[in-house]
Amino acid sequence: MNNEMMGGLYRRDFMKLGAMGVGGVSASGWMNVLAGHAAETQAKHKSCILLYMSGGPSHKDTFDLKPDSDGAGEFKPISTNVSGIQISEHFPKFAKWMHKSALLRGMSTGEGAHARASYFLHTGYKEGQGGLTYPSLGAIASMETGNPDLPIPNFVTINGGKSYGSGYLGSKHQPLAITDASKGVSNLNALVGDNQFNSRVSLLNEMEKAFLKDYSSEAGAAHQTTYQRAVTMMKSAQARAFDISGEPANLRSEYGSGKFGEGCILARRLIETGVRFVEVNLGGWDTHENNFERVKSLSAQVDAGMSTLISDLNQRGLLDSTLIVWMGDFGRTPKINQRGTKPGRDHYPKAWTSVMVGGGIKGGQVIGKTDKQGATVEERPISTIDFMSTACSVLGIDYTKQVQTPIGRPIRLVEKGANPIKELLA
């Protein structure tokens, strides 16, 4: 388990619970049973895997290839399995899944600073707006489509990054954060027997209740929720989903050997188990210098991890019920800069590309169009709230719904004025 906060649960808290004692659960064929159950239930409740590219990928060097006005640009376009749609040569595996995918080339989102852009794209609200901390899409999915009986959280983040959490929705929908998919969640196995563990948990519950009776507070309630979540997860068979070590070597190789590929494997396992929202982070896209070499390397990681994830979900009957989203903070400037020793691109939220795959969307299409330099959106601009309302619609969430903040203030899940991309909705 990571050294940081795990959806409100700190490592030291998990170690305390581990010391109370509960044995690891093992059962032959448990994953197949869970996967079958997930395939049946997700017809009603779709899941989402967000592949977040921290730093902001260059749209012109990935999914909207166009030469710079000064002739710069090192990558060649290749054809996909959908006639007329081309992408970077460094996504040959993904090119075979274009029929299940949509390229949103009309993204135009306004925020050009990393932290503000990431917050905006995760929540649909600008940071500081209305004096609230807003829930991310993952927390919204947990609240609206999550299984309350699932013994592990309905929202999981992998590989660090600034994923944002549940905001005013509270600790119940806070994400479980995994910093290293290969290590999963440690401290799940207790150090004492079941009877002693249960006795200690009962004592802890009594102490928590007594404390909250005398000192009722939001922080105290969140602390109690954290421990209850941990205890439930420690006793569950579903927690075995966090262990990717048993995955076949050849499949792990197809996903790629790095942290991103391992994160995609874990994401698939969690979706099989019934988790509603998983975010996998891949940083390094802030290519102010050495843009072309860095984008080439990062694209190779994405091509292996994302393409194998699509194939894997498809083979298991889960692709049509699992929306995969690929996006970053923003795009990159149409013209390169020469400030460093090697050419780079700067922040550019005015025109860029995100990708949606699976989830029952109408694939094999491009939504939006930029000009010949990739500098301006000429057709079907897509704002942040357009994007958020589309993702919600695909997942079966009413984006117009109003929810109450802890102080009784009604807030819409997505702001008024959103224009969902109806061309995607089957």
Q: What residue spans define the domains of the chain?
A: 1-30+185-242, 42-181+250-424
What span, in angstroms and rounded, lies between the C-alpha atoms of 172 and 9?
A: 11
- DSSP-based three-state secondary structure for 233: helix
Confidence of residue 36 (pLDDT cuts 50, 70, 90): low
d(CA 25, CA 304): 32
CB distance 157 to 176 below 8 Å: yes
Q: Is 25 helix (H, G, I), strand (E, B) or coil?
A: coil
pLDDT at 360: 97
Least confident of 62-76, 216-230, 269-283, 371-385: 216-230
CA distances, 103 to each of 86, 310, 319, 367 (Å): 10, 15, 17, 6
Whether 279 and 328 have beta carbons less than 8 Å apart is answered as no
Statement: the pTM of the whole predicted model exceeds 0.85: no
Please give the Cα distance from 75 to 413 (Å, whole number): 39
Q: How far apart, in Å, are the Cα atoms of 247 and each of 194, 243, 244?
A: 29, 9, 6
Contact present, 126 and 117 (Cβ < 8 Å): no
200-257: pLDDT as tens digits: 545 555 665 665 566 655 654 555 555 455 555 555 667 889 999 999 999 999 999 8
DSSP letters, 316-352, are TT-STTEEEEEEES-EE-SS-B-SSSS-B--EE-SSE
| Per CATH, domain 42-181+250-424 is 3.40.720.10 | yes
Reference 306, options 281, 326, 292; nearest CA is: 326
pLDDT tens figures, 372-396: 999 999 999 999 999 999 999 999 9
